[in-house]
């Protein structure tokens, strides 16, 4: 079975929680499936990335990188994931 690696970056996590962790996937697993899986697995800890937890809509300021490419800005939650992909979830920071 294939696996991807996920990194969740938000202020509610301890620094050791920033390490990528593996998730087993099948051949048709999409970024949207991953969002569902992470919400089911982490519950409230993952909801920081969600605008509406009920339907798992991502917040406007959530950034999701798949191997360095921003998938949310491209509206590509249907992107199929592949073995070894690195997916990073983070919240955009603003300020000056």
Q: Where are the domains of the chain?
A: 2-91
Report pLDDT for 1.
Answer: 80
Report the alpha-carbon distance of residue 39 to residue 1 in Å, rounded: 22
Per DSSP (E only), the strands in the chain are 2-9, 21-25, 50-52, 57-58, 62-66, 69-70, 86-91
Question: How do residues 12-35 score in pLDDT, each as one tens digit?
Answer: 556 566 789 999 999 899 999 999
pTM: 0.86
Q: What class, spelled out in words, does domain 2-91 have in CATH?
A: alpha beta
Coil, strand or helix at 57: strand
Backbone angles phi, psi at 34, to 5 degrees: -65, -45
């Amino acid at each position: 079975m294939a696996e991807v690696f996920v990194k969740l970056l938000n202020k509610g996590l301890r620094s050791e929680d920033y390490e990528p962790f593996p998730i087993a996937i099948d051949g048709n697993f999409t970024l949207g499936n991953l969002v569902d899986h992470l919400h089911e697995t982490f519950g409230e800890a993952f909801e920081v990335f969600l605008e509406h937890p009920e339907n798992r809509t991502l917040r406007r300021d959530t950034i999701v990188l798949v191997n360095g490419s921003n998938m949310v800005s491209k509206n590509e939650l249907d992107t199929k994931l592949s073995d070894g992909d690195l997916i990073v979830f983070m919240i955009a920071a603003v300020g000056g």
